[in-house]
Amino acid sequence: MNERLVANIDEKNCIGCTICIDSCPFDAIIGAQNFSHRVNQLECPGCKICVSKCPTDCIEIIKINQNKDEIKEKIKFNFQRRKIRKKNLEKFQKENITNQLNKILKS
């Protein structure tokens, strides 16, 4: 076991804005709009990106005891999954805009 850094959300001050979910490159934050969020610490490599994004300043970085090797594969997988999801979403949005434009131009 060794010490590593992870994010931790003070749930009582979380307003459920989802900004942290959108900013996390590792898909390590769980929550729904208007409900308090939490960090899945087994999947958080402690990159700190979410900390400065939170409008209520309720995310802090803490130390936990965990072997880094245990989380490496999961973190790599989540990072790739998020990249693919973002790419697909952008493609879908582009196609959707093109379809909408075509409909308007044809009408």
Give contact residues for ligand SF4 (rule: CB under 6 A): 7, 9, 14-20, 23-24, 26, 28-29, 31, 37, 39, 44-50, 53-56, 58-59
Give min distance, CB of 95 to ligand SF4, in A.
29
* Identity of the residue, 23 or 66, whose beta carbon is nearer to ligand SF4 in the bound complex: 23
Give min distance, CB of 62 to ligand SF4, in A.
10
* Identity of the residue, 15 or 64, whose beta carbon is nearer to ligand SF4 in the bound complex: 15
- What is the residue whose two structure tokens read 């989380």? 71
* Identity of the residue, 65 or 107, whose beta carbon is nearer to ligand SF4 in the bound complex: 65
Give min distance, CB of 7 to ligand SF4, in A.
4
CA contacts within 13 A on the Cβ side of 6: 23
What is the separation of C-alpha 31 from the centre of its chain, rounded to a whole number of angstroms? 10
The CA-to-CA distance between both ends of the chain, in Å, stands at 65
Give min distance, CB of 76 to ligand SF4, in A.
13
> Which of 29, 28, 33 lies closest to 17 in space, CA to CA?
33
Other CB atoms within a 10 A radius of the CB of residue 81 amount to 12
CA contacts within 13 A on the Cβ side of 72: 4
* Identity of the residue, 76 or 94, whose beta carbon is nearer to ligand SF4 in the bound complex: 76
